Amino acid sequence: HHQSTPVHYGELKKIVEALSFKFTELPSRPISQGRRCFADSESSSQSTKAGAFLMQALVCFHEACRLVEECVCEATVKDSPLTAAVHQNEDTLECVCVCLLKCCDTAYIPTVTRVCERSPSPRVLQIFLSILSMQFSVLRNF
């Protein structure tokens, strides 16, 4: 008989909040830039790092949303003693859902919109739209 690993909602919430805070610090200038002269290589390097962080952060946030969506959709997981809250105030599935929605609203939507207005990216938009879809799924099933 296989037991699922407990989902530590409070820890997941802390990670999501920290990642979201860093996400909002992405530069305002375009992230994916074309060829630049040698003198601008430092700026180009920073832009490349920012672009890599953007994708990594979106993938991590996407995976957090996917995990929460699975927990919300599975009544057995939702009510399982393995995922029961240690502290009813902060370590609950509902609290993580609210956190994901808040972070999406305050960090991911404005930042992705700002970045893609300057430098559209199909990869960024694809994962971002998937995140938004999961957010609606979580709300519908909660």
- Residue 3 lies inside a defined structural domain of this protein: no
- Residue 79 lies inside a defined structural domain of this protein: yes
- Residue 1 lies inside a defined structural domain of this protein: no
The pLDDT value recorded for residue 59 is 97
φ and ψ at residue 18, rounded to 5 degrees: -65, -45
- Residue 64 lies inside a defined structural domain of this protein: yes
The pLDDT value recorded for residue 138 is 83
Residue 123 carries which side chain, given as an amino acid letter?
R
The pLDDT value recorded for residue 74 is 79
The pLDDT value recorded for residue 33 is 42
| CA geometry: angle 128, 51, 13, nearest 5 deg | 55
Which domain, by its residues, includes 26?
9-141
- Residue 100 lies inside a defined structural domain of this protein: yes
Q: How far apart are CA 88 and CA 73, in angstroms?
A: 20
- Residue 29 lies inside a defined structural domain of this protein: yes
- Residue 102 lies inside a defined structural domain of this protein: yes
Q: How far apart are CA 128 and CA 112, in angstroms?
A: 8
The pLDDT value recorded for residue 91 is 80
Q: How far apart are CA 68 and CA 65, in angstroms?
A: 5
SS3 assignment, position 80? coil
- Residue 54 lies inside a defined structural domain of this protein: yes
Q: Which of 115, 23, 116 minimizes the C-alpha distance to 62?
A: 23
φ and ψ at residue 88, rounded to 5 degrees: -55, -25
The pLDDT value recorded for residue 140 is 76
The pLDDT value recorded for residue 18 is 97
Counted domains in the chain: 1
pLDDT tens for the chain, residues 1 to 142:
455 667 789 999 999 999 999 999 988 665 654 444 444 676 778 888 998 999 999 999 999 999 999 888 875 555 554 455 454 566 888 999 999 999 999 999 999 999 999 989 999 999 999 999 999 888 777 6
CA distances from 107 to 18, 37, 39, 128 (A): 11, 32, 32, 12
